[in-house]
Structure 1
């Protein structure tokens, strides 16, 4: 899938990007990966990403006050970095999430979020 490969190459150009992947969050399967992964295990990172997205999507606590509002992204902050999860929104029932692991010192959270939004939109446009 050239679109997926290009998306991940672009994700790795985000300042501070350590690793990136596209995950099917219904199965926890990594569709594609690049760079490093937490604990050097892309499969475990993908499974963890899927669990977080499923939990956020299924809890009424995270429901918006706006009817039919969709979850866009999630950010997990650690002492050393950020884990950014951007859901890929499509006309049909999409199950993909773009995941980027960002070094906290070298990265810029706002720039990363805007770039990930653009990449997710471009990925959908290529399908």
Structure 2
């Protein structure tokens, strides 16, 4: 079972990988980084990707349940940001979102949420070169890395 550094190095072995990080989306801090950053600063990249991850993880639109009747009404206990989806992200069934993909003209940003025994508020961020990267392979490999990651 790989730790953070080993996990990130394995992610960088993917074709077209330019940079990788493990980020805590609740604080926006990078827990580990390797390779390049799209903006030249890993901490800025971590904070910016954390905003995107937080939006996806906290809003009901992306909640794990597909049954609208099973969701609490807005404003009710468990509804709205940090509600049902927040509870799922807190370890009840794992993160509500598996991954996010942002496509730019020159690359792909793949954010893979990591289920943890504590609050599941971390994700792997992989930045791939669009011409050299294989998005399908990256998604499958990040899934495997996230499942095997040991946070110490």
Equivalent of residue 135 in structure 2, options 98, 104, 109: 109
* TM-score, length-scaled by structure 1: 0.90
* TM-score, length-scaled by structure 2: 0.76
Give distance in 2, aligned partners of 1:50 and 1:78.
Answer: 18
Q: Which residue of structure 2 aligns with residue 39 of structure 1?
A: 39
- Which one has a larger percent helix, Structure 1 or Structure 2? 1
Give distance in 1, aligned partners of 2:132 and 2:5.
Answer: 24
Deviation for aligned residue 1:61: 2.0
Gaps of 5+ in 1: none
Give distance in 2, aligned partners of 1:57 and 1:94.
Answer: 10
Q: Which residue of structure 2 aligns with residue 65 of structure 1?
A: 66
Gaps of 5+ in 2: 71-87
The size of the alignment, in residue pairs, is: 125
Deviations 1:40-85 (A, max 9, x none): 1101100011100111112222234067672110000001100000
| Alignment root-mean-square deviation, CA | 1.8
Answer with 1 or 2: which has the greater Rg. Answer: 2
